[in-house]
C-alpha cells in the first residue's frame, strides 16, 4: 500500500516537472518569436540629413532621390521669356559626380552612358513640382540622338500622381540645337 502511494506520488511529481519544463520552453520560444518580430518590424532610423529615397508618385524608381544628385544650375532657372518649353522655375540634376563630368573644373562632353538628367519645374504661381523631364543615356538605344531617351511627366496637384505627356520625337527637335554639348541645354555652374 505504501509502495503504491509512493509510486503514484513519484509519477505525479514527474508529470508536474515535465509540465513546468514544457511551459518554460514554450515561454522562451514565445519570447524568441516576439524578439524576431521586433527585429523585423523595427523601423530603420534614417541617417541624419539623409534624403528618403522614394520616388515622387507615378515616377520610376531610378529617379528616386534625384534631389540629392549633383545640381547643374547654381540658381533656379526662371521661366524663359517669350515661350517657355518647360513652363516654370526649374532645377536640373544629374546622377554623376562633379569630378566625373568636370574632371579639371571644366565640364566635358558627352555624358557617360548610364547618365540620368532630371529637370523639375515649379509651375508659375505654384509651390509644388508640377513637371519632371528626364533624359536617360542608354547605350545602344538611339545612336542618332547620342543615345538619349527623353520623357516628360506632369501633374496638376501636389498629391497627384505624375503621368507621361510626351517623349523622344517632340523633344529631339529642340534639344538638337545644343547637340554640340550633348543635347543638354543646362551646363554645370
Q: Which residues bind ligand HEC (CB under 6 A)?
A: 77, 80, 85-86, 90, 92, 117, 119, 133-135, 150-152, 166-167, 170-171, 174-175, 184-186
50 or 61, CB closer to ligand HEC? 61
Q: How far is the CB of 189 from ligand HEC (least distance, A)?
A: 12
Evaluate whether 98 touches 71 at the Cβ level (below 8 Å). Answer: no
DSSP-assigned letter for residue 77: B
Evaluate whether 152 touches 121 at the Cβ level (below 8 Å). Answer: no
First to last CA, the chain: 103
What is the total residue count of the chain?
A: 189
Q: How far is the CB of 170 from ligand HEC (least distance, A)?
A: 5
97 or 170, CB closer to ligand HEC? 170
Can you tell me whether residue 36 is helix, strand or coil? helix
50 or 170, CB closer to ligand HEC? 170
Amino acid at each position: 500500500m505504501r509502495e503504491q502511494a509512493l509510486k503514484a506520488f513519484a509519477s505525479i511529481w514527474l508529470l508536474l516537472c515535465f509540465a513546468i519544463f514544457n511551459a518554460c520552453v514554450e515561454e522562451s520560444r514565445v519570447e524568441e518569436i516576439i524578439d524576431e518580430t521586433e527585429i523585423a518590424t523595427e523601423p530603420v532610423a534614417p541617417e541624419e540629413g539623409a534624403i528618403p529615397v522614394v520616388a515622387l508618385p507615378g515616377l520610376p524608381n531610378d529617379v528616386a532621390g534625384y534631389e540629392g544628385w549633383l545640381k547643374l544650375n547654381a540658381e533656379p532657372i526662371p521661366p524663359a521669356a517669350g515661350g517657355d518649353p518647360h513652363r516654370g522655375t526649374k532645377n536640373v540634376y544629374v546622377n554623376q559626380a562633379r569630378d566625373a563630368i568636370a574632371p579639371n573644373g571644366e565640364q566635358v562632353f558627352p555624358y557617360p552612358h548610364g547618365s540620368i538628367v532630371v529637370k523639375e519645374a515649379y509651375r508659375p504661381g505654384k509651390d509644388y513640382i508640377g513637371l519632371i523631364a528626364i533624359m536617360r543615356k542608354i547605350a545602344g538605344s538611339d545612336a542618332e540622338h547620342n543615345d538619349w531617351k527623353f520623357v516628360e511627366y506632369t501633374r496638376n496637384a501636389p498629391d497627384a500622381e505624375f503621368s507621361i505627356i510626351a517623349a523622344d520625337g517632340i523633344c529631339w527637335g529642340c534639344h538638337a540645337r545644343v547637340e554640340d554639348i550633348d543635347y543638354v541645354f543646362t551646363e554645370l555652374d
